[in-house]
Amino acid sequence: MKIAALSDIHGNLFALDAVLADINRRGVDLTVNLGDILSGPLLPAETADRLMALDLPTISGNHERQVLTMDPADMGASDRYAAETISDVHRDWMSALPPVLRLTDDVFLCHATPQNDVDCYLEDIIDGELRPASLRSIEARTGTCNAALIWCGHSHIPRLSQLSSGQIIVNPGSVGIQAYEGHHPGPHRVEIGSPHARYALCEQSPDGWKVEFIAVPYDWHAASRLARQRGTLDWDRALRTGYVRAPSVAV
């Protein structure tokens, strides 16, 4: 079985369409979606329409939960824009998404960890940066989940970890946005360092799962233009560069 995983699309239909085209060219048995699907200043409703038509195995992320349950006055700007622009049909679709999914005996999907939708699985926050987590931390977060292949998203950082049991955990990275400043459980910054849309493939082989991380070029200038039109200059820079902040200028 060959599985493609998409995560953290964040309403970036420009990036999603490029990734879907790349997946179609390669051919896979199944494509899954790991959540944080719509929130952001780009095209939440149009992204929902595309994905509802595809009917992929999909789980919800923390942003789906936030859009559906929080008071708009308490939302961050990305969630508020999604909440204000999607329809009841989109809400009903989001409401029906499970938080985790046992896809097969071997394959488990979660957004952040098997336990919750907000803690990074494969990273720890140290000095405001996400660093690779210790094996002990990753095993504790795995809990009793015994699937051979566990997919997670949330941190936007493409990463593969193997537990002492031989189980592997794969974060495909983010389709939609390659840099952000996060606030849970403390302030931190993620900068992937290029604007390419990210996803991953896992394929069963006689020796185990073969994992491929893929970076897809797309029209990020169109996406960043739209971010500028919406007045979200942080998204504009992150979409174009994969960095949150401007590089320092030598003088």
Q: Are 163 and 154 in contact (CB under 8 A)?
A: no
Query: Should residue 154 be labelled a site residue for Mn ion when binding is judged by CB under 5 A?
Result: yes
User: Which of 19, 209 has the CB closer to Mn ion?
Assistant: 19
Angle between helices 62-69 and 77-85 (to 10 degrees): 60
**Which residues touch 125 (CB under 8 Å, ≥6 apart)?**
131, 185, 186, 188
Rule CB under 5 A: which of 5-64 touch Mn ion? Answer: 36, 61-62
How many positions of this chain bind Mn ion (CB under 5 A)?
4
Rule CB under 5 A: which of 53-112 touch Mn ion? Answer: 61-62
User: Which of 56, 148 has the CB closer to Mn ion?
Assistant: 56
Q: Cα separation of 111 and 8, whole Å?
A: 9
User: Which of 38, 226 has the CB closer to Mn ion?
Assistant: 38
Cβ at position 61, least distance to Mn ion in Å: 4
- The residue range among 76-84, 93-101, 149-157, 213-221 that interacts with Mn ion, by the rule CB under 5 A, is 149-157
Q: Say how many C-beta atoms besides its own lie within 10 A of residue 57's C-beta.
A: 17
- The residue range among 98-106, 150-158, 185-193, 213-221 that interacts with Mn ion, by the rule CB under 5 A, is 150-158
Q: Are 13 and 21 in contact (CB under 8 A)?
A: no
Amino acid occupying residue 85: T
**Which residues touch 71 (CB under 8 Å, ≥6 apart)?**
none
- The residue range among 22-30, 147-155, 160-168, 203-211 that interacts with Mn ion, by the rule CB under 5 A, is 147-155
